Amino acid sequence: MDNLIIDVLQQGYYYQHYPITVTMPYRNTSNLTIPQLFSQINRFLNKYPDKRTCVIIGTQYHWSLIRAMNSKFIYFSDSSNFNKLYRHSFSIVNHNKTYQINLDDIYFFERST
């Protein structure tokens, strides 16, 4: 994912016409809980009314683009047949029956509208 972001989104034609800022706020982070993570993601998604924001997360199965969330659900777009899941369906550590989020695979995107 890093190469795709660097080579496509932050250079050349796309970046000239659609400048985008990408951050990876959780690289080399530990001691973070899922409620803290989702609270921070939700704040980011709602922080900038004059910017478009989204968050991409990587799980052990696939990548998901988070569009919004509330106290119960995460709304996303990805290659699965789901467009929302319960927040408790995710974890940072490997638990049965949850999607494991790797903190190094979380990207925050923002673009002015």
Tell me the whole-structure pTM to 2 decimals. Answer: 0.84
Q: How far apart are alpha carbons 78 and 75 in whole angstroms?
A: 10
Q: What is the pLDDT along the chain (113 residues), one digit of tens a residue?
A: 776 777 667 677 777 788 888 889 999 888 899 999 999 999 999 887 778 888 999 888 888 899 899 989 999 888 777 789 899 888 887 777 788 888 999 999 888 76
Predicted pLDDT at 99: 85
For 29, phi then psi, to 5°, come to -105, 145
> If residue 69 lies in a helix (H) or strand (E), which one and from where to where?
strand 63-69
pLDDT at residue 73 in the model: 93
The pLDDT assigned to 26 comes to 94
Cβ–Cβ under 8 Å, residues 69 and 45: yes
